[in-house]
Every structure is written in structure tokens, then in C-alpha cells.
Amino acid sequence: MEVINGHKKWGFQGNPELIASSISVRGVLTKLMANRNKDDKRPTIPLGRADPTEYPSYRTTPVAPDAVADATYSYNFNCYPPTVDDVYLTAGCTQAIEIVVSVLARPNANILFPRPGYPQYEARASCSKLEARHFDLIPEKGWEVDLDSVEALADENTVAMVIINPSNPCGNVFTYQHLKEIAETASKLGIFVISDEVYGHLAFGSNPFVPMGVFGPTVPVLTLGSIAKRWIVPGWRIGWIVTSDPNGIFHQSGGALTQILKHTKEDFYSKILTTIRGAADILYDRIQEIPCLTCPHKPEGSMVAMVKLNLPLLEGIIDDVDFCMKLAREESVIVLPAFGSNPFVPMGVFGPTVPVLTLGSIAKRWIVPGWRIGWIVTSDPNGIFHQSGGALTQILKHTKEDFYSKILTTIRGAADILYDRIQEIPCLTCPHKPEGSMVAMVKLNLPLLEGIIDDVDFCMKLAREESVIVLPGVTVGLKNCLRITFAVEHSALEDGLGRIKAFYHRHAKKE
């Protein structure tokens, strides 16, 4: 054993898949922050992270903390979250991504991600050994999906495509027509759509936000969401996965399980029942002939029975364990320390009286215990599970329209400032005016600059000289672009863009 500094060599290390997968946003932001000039007395303008919680204009609605306080003090919601029909609660959208990607990762499968995109997807796919392929978003077409590249990338092992709408990092909102084309393309390819709508409803341009779920009749959709962005509480880890699949495609593609449930003939079940019932009869009759054993209740279900041991009738047997040990030794019969007139009644029939979660599996009835297939079924026609959604339900229900519209006005104003100020900075172009989310992609015209190698170099020098933090595009999959978060106080945004302009003038290539 290798011993270093008095302890055994540590046997753990980080997952190299995670480290290898793309340059992390957090890592780059940390580097940029560290590169600031300590002597710059001006406040730092953070245009890198989509977290405006430090600004008064972006304070969440009081409905949200009130709902959390009420739910907490009611003590009714300390349980694990229930699963309601088509909605699965998660710890933020981040966990929704983790779950969906890891569930899809079967050997040889691949998944289609947008470029530029949200690097969390790549990191999870790489961790789960799910092959990531990238289709392009076209800046000249308002960052629409290049559907030809989707068709070119997909093959028989492609499981799904991811869209982010409203878009992070591009700031666009897909039209109804484009979403319809996405749905039709996916349907043609036999893949489903994962729609990341974490910025859902944060649409302030001319395209209204259309949830992908409306195309559920065309293609099965998994919608991922969270309260982080719309309610401006990114530290609150509450998210969800919603299925929109009115045709039950997800269910049909349950594969073997669905086939087994559907196609097993009644006579298989009855034959097995007859066999087991016969065995139960033998057990019960023969037990009668063994004085030291009594069967208090004739078995009428399952495959096992409890039998009482009459120890006083035996000599030299201490207890049940001793009986079983000696029986194994002397007779090579192995027994361990609940069939008849009552028909089996599923508890779910009492759903109208009390909400029921039924757990089951194919292990026992189909006698395939090695097949790891089980299920959870909700029987809750009164929607009790749904009512007990706690704070989240309250927040969704009671947030007033004016909170949403105030936030939208603030973000729209910020997007206008960004777009106008960018026009005045020759080395930057914004191919598409942001109309949703809190971020925009801006192109960097490197030939207009002197001594700046690429987007990372630009951002590092900007942090150093101007204490302005923006994210290099390479971190979201597009080199020599910048991702600028404009959800900051308007004055801070003006200040930040003024500093970027000054930075440009200092580094502009001389004629």
C-alpha cells in the first residue's frame, strides 16, 4: 500500500468527464473576477451571470417568500414531493436536466443540442456517456434552429433534441410557426423534443412566448422549467419536468413493459394461479400432519406462508433459527423465519377516499425477479396530491400580473439599452435584438481590434481594465462572440456598456 504523508494514497478524484466537458461558465467567470484590477475604485459591472437578485428593480414578488413561509409553518409540506400526473418536481431545472439526460443515456444513443447552448447539457451527457451532437442556431434568421442540420445529424440512435426558448444565450423567442416546424421535423425523425423553458414567459419582443407543449399532438414533448428566472429567485432550487404527450407515445415506447402488460394472455395468469393454489393446498394439508407446525391461516395469496413452530413439542431445538439450521443440515430443506376466498382488491379503487400510491413490479406475478422493472401508480381522482403542492402552487396562483409586467418592462428597457449602445461600439454587433430571456449573443469583430486574440482574451482584458464581466462565447459553444446578461439595473448597464466603448477606443486598430 502506497503511503504518502502518513495516510494511504487518497483513492478519490473528480469525474474527469465533467472536467473535460466544455469550459465551464463558472470557471471562466471566476477567472474573470480574479483578473480585475484591485485599484479600480469603480463598482464591478457583472454582465456575465444571469442572476439579477442584487438589484432592487429585480426583487421577487412578496407572494413568493410569503408562500414559502406559510407552507413551512403549516408543517404540511415537509414530505417528499408527490408526482402529479404529468408533472415531476425537481431541485431546480438543473436537476431536471440531470434526470432527463441520464434516463436517456442507453448505450449508443445520441442526443441533439443547440449551438450555442447551455453547457449544463453537455456536462450531463458526457457524464452519462450519452453522445452529444450539435445543430446550429442561425443568427441571421433570429437564431432559429437550422432544421437541415438537425435532419443531417439524426440517425436511428438519436433519442431527442433540446431547444431553449426563450433562448439562453441568444435572447430570441421562437415563433409559433418555427416551433411547429421543429415539432414536425422531430416527429419525422422519430425523436422527441426537450424544451427548456426556464425563461418561459420572459418574452418582451414581438414574438409571444409559445410553450412547446402545445405541439404535444405532433410530437411528444418534455418541458423543463423552474421558478429561478421568472420569479428571480435563482437560489431557490425548485424546478419541474412536464410531459405533453396526448397520444401516449412515451407510454407506447415503454418498450418491453408495455408489450408484456398488453400481450400476456389470461390463461398464463390462470395457469400460474392454479399451480400456486395447488402448492398452497399441499402445504396446508401436509402441515396438518406435522404436529410441531401449525398454519394459522391457509395461504390465499402470494407465494409464501407463515407457519407457527410449537417448540414445546421438540427436544434440543432452541428457536426458529436453530430449527431451520438443523433442518438444512439433516434434510437439506431450506425454510425461512402471506391464497383462497378473498379476491385481490387493488388499493387504488379507494382513491376517491384517500390518495393512493401503488407500488408494483413484474418480478412476482410474471416470475421474473431478476428483471428490474417496477412502477409507481397514483390513484388520486380528487387531486389531493396536487392541492398539497405547497408554496409552489401558492406562488403560481397568487403572483399578480403586475409583477410579471413590471419585470418584463424592466428587462425590455435593459434590452433596448443594450441594443442601442452596442450600435455605438464598432467592434460589436448584435445580430438579433433580444426579445426574451435575460441574455444576448453579440459578435466580436476582432479585425477592428489591436492586440486582442480572441473572445477569452477580450473578456480577460475587459475585466482587468474596466471591471466589467462578460462571458466569452466559447463557453456556450460559439467562439469570438460574447454572451451579455442585460438583466441588471439600467444605470449599471449604461455604465458597463460605456466602459466597453471606452475599452474599444483604447484597443481600436489604428488606421
Q: Should residue 57 be labelled a site residue for ligand PLP when binding is judged by CB under 6 A?
A: no
Query: How, if at all, do strands 374-379 and 356-361 pair?
Result: antiparallel
Beta carbon of residue 50, minimum distance to ligand PLP (angstroms, whole number): 6
- Taking the complex as a whole, the smallest distance from the CB of residue 454 to ligand PLP amounts, in Å, to 24
92/473 with CB nearer ligand PLP: 92
Contacts of 136 (CB under 8 A, 6+ apart): 114, 115, 145, 146, 149
Task: Tell the smallest beta-carbon distance from residue 229 to ligand PLP (Å).
Answer: 6
Sequence letter at residue 146: D
Our CB check for ligand PLP shows the closer of 58 and 339 to be 58
User: Residue 359: which of 378, 380, 383, 381 has the closest Cα?
Assistant: 378
Q: Are 378 and 348 in contact (CB under 8 A)?
A: no
Among 88, 118, 215, 385, binds ligand PLP (CB under 6 A): 118
Shortest Å, Cβ 122 to ligand PLP: 12
Residue pair 435/412 in contact by the 8 Å Cβ criterion: no
Region binding ligand PLP by CB under 6 A among candidate stretches 58-66, 226-234, 342-350, 466-474: 226-234
Residue number with CB closer to ligand PLP (116 or 139)? 116
Q: Is the separation of the CB atoms in 52 and 232 below 8 Å?
A: yes
Which range of residues in 89-97, 243-251, 269-277, 406-414 is near ligand PLP by CB under 6 A? 89-97
- Minimum CB distance to ligand PLP smaller for 112 or for 305: 112
Nearer to ligand PLP, 57 or 168 (CB): 168
Q: Which residues contact 208 (CB under 8 A, 6 or more apart)?
A: 173, 176
Residues 350-389 touching ligand PLP, rule: CB under 6 A, are none
Closest to ligand PLP by CB, 57 vs 94, is: 94
Q: How far apart are CA 109 and CA 115, in angstroms?
A: 19
Instruction: Mention every residue, 6+ apart, whose C-beta is less than 8 A from residue 487.
Output: 50, 52, 58, 410, 411, 414, 438, 439
Work out the number of other CB atoms within 10 angstroms of the CB of residue 502.
14
Q: In what order do the strands lie in the sheet with 45-47?
A: 45-47, 468-472, 481-485, 439-444, 428-429
Report in angstroms how near the CB of residue 120 gets to ligand PLP at its nearest: 6
Q: Least distance from C-beta 487 to ligand PLP, angstroms?
A: 11
Of 88-96, 171-179, 205-213, 455-463: span binding ligand PLP (CB under 6 A): 88-96
**By CB under 6 A, is residue 234 in contact with ligand PLP?**
yes
SS3 string of 301-360?
CCCCCCCEECHHHCCCCCCHHHHHHHHHHHHCCCCCCCCCCCCCCCHHHHCCCCCEEEEE
C-alpha pair distances (Å), 463 with each of 21, 419, 492, 499? 25, 21, 15, 10
Which grid coordinates belong to 242? 412536464
Cα separation of 32 and 40, whole Å?
Answer: 14
Residue in 239, 355, 434, 477 binding ligand PLP, rule: CB under 6 A? 239
Which three-class secondary structure state does DSSP give residue 64? helix
Stretch that binds ligand PLP, among 17-25, 90-98, 123-131, 502-510 (CB under 6 A): 90-98
Nearer to ligand PLP among residue 125 and residue 228 (C-beta): 228
Closest to ligand PLP by CB, 118 or 403? 118
User: Which one of 105, 111, 160, 164 is in contact with ligand PLP (CB under 6 A)?
Assistant: 164
Check residue 228 for interaction with ligand PLP (CB under 6 A).
yes
CA dist 92 and 81 (Å) reads: 13
- Give the torsion sign (CA, 321, 322, 327, 330): positive
> Could you give the CA distance from residue 461 to residue 474 in angstroms, rounded to a whole number?
16
Site for ligand PLP in 393-422 (CB under 6 A): none
Per-residue binding string, ligand PLP, 188-217, x by CB under 6 A, is --------x-x-------------------
Q: Does the footprint of ligand PLP cover residue 473 (CB under 6 A)? A: no
Q: What residue ranges in 387-460 does DSSP mark as E strands?
A: 428-429, 439-444
Please choose, out of 87-95, 186-194, 203-211, 354-362, the segment that lies near ligand PLP by the rule CB under 6 A.
Answer: 87-95
Determine if 436 is a binding residue for ligand PLP (CB under 6 A).
Answer: no
Give yes or no for residue 137 binding ligand PLP (CB under 6 A): no
- Answer yes or no whether residue 61 interacts with ligand PLP by CB under 6 A: no
Residue number with CB closer to ligand PLP (32 or 163)? 163
Q: Which three cell numbers stand for residue 60?
A: 421577487
Question: Least distance (Å) from ligand PLP to the CB of residue 21?
Answer: 16
Site of interaction with ligand PLP (CB under 6 A): 92-94, 118, 164, 168, 196, 198, 226, 228, 234, 239
